């Protein structure tokens, strides 16, 4: 487990190779096994393969080239009709996305969580025709990696433990 967690890197360059639907379903399925408050499972997903749609989305973030390069993107939505506590729902969505990133990596694919595009969230919602009851939370760009998993650093564990009581 720790090996998968530590070797996962954000992947921003992809091969042209399409991602099979079965693989996408496995990745989304992993997301749905995340914990959520009262097990309310507040997530919904839109799969975006269309080049035209990806190019339009690309215009809404400075990381647009990643969206054009990736063969597929997944928009992650929070379904407010299932909500009982917004903070907890957002936390659950984060857990869901991390599950998806780890499953993607474990399958030999790569992905990046794109959040900068949230500054144009309203435009994304309009473009993807997101229902009024749903909130756009993140875009995941994914595909078969065309780059090695880079080396990354994290703060030392001792540094992030505030105290032990
Ligand atoms: C909430 C969130 C938003 C992010 N938004 C972006 C983004 O818009 N563009 C991007 O290239 N990476 C984005 N990332 C990826 C981070 O830059 C990346 O996870 C971080 O630098 C650590 O690198 P690693 O994922 O390779 O370990 C985002 C990550 C998170 C969790």
Choose the residue to mutate in 4, 6, 10 for probing ligand 1, maximizing ligand atoms within 8 Å of C-beta: 10
- CB-based burial label for 134 (10 Å; 0-12, 13-18, 19+): buried
Cα 149 to middle of ligand 1, angstroms:
14
Indicate whether 125 pLDDT > 90.
Answer: yes
- Classified as helix, coil or strand, 13 is coil
Which residue's alpha carbon is nearest to atom 20 within ligand 1? 10
The span from the CA of 24 to the CA of 73, in Å, is 10
Scan for tokens 């919904």, then name that residue.
44
Task: Write out 139-160 in H/E/C secondary structure.
Answer: EEEEECECCCCCCCCCCCHHHH
pLDDT computed for residue 86 by the predictor = 98
Asked if 47 and 74 touch (Cβ cutoff 8 Å), the reply is yes
Asked if 78 and 93 touch (Cβ cutoff 8 Å), the reply is yes
Backbone φ and ψ for 118, nearest 5 degrees, come out as: -60, -25
Cα 134 to middle of ligand 1, angstroms:
23
pLDDT computed for residue 149 by the predictor = 78
Indicate whether 45 pLDDT > 90.
Answer: yes
The end-to-end CA distance of the chain, in Å, is: 28
Indicate whether 147 pLDDT > 90.
Answer: no
pLDDT computed for residue 41 by the predictor = 98
- In the structure, what pLDDT confidence band is assigned to residue 148 with cuts at 50, 70 and 90? confident
To the nearest whole number, what is the mean pLDDT of the chain?
Answer: 97
């Amino acid at each position: 487990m720790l090996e998968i967690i530590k070797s996962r890197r954000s992947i921003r360059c992809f091969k042209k190779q399409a991602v099979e639907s079965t693989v996408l379903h496995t990745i989304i399925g992993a997301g749905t096994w995340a914990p959520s408050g009262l097990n309310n499972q507040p997530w919904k997903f839109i799969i975006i393969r269309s080049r035209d749609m990806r190019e339009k989305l690309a215009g809404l973030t400075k990381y647009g080239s990643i969206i054009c390069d990736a063969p597929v993107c997944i928009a992650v939505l929070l379904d407010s009709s299932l909500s009982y506590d917004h903070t907890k729902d957002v936390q659950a969505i984060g857990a869901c996305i991390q599950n998806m990133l780890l499953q993607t990596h474990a399958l030999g694919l790569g992905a990046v969580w794109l959040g900068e595009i949230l500054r144009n969230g309203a435009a994304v919602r309009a473009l993807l025709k997101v229902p009024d009851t749903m909130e756009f939370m993140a875009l995941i760009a994914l595909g078969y990696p065309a780059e090695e998993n880079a080396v990354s650093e994290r703060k030392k564990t001792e540094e992030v433990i505030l105290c032990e009581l």
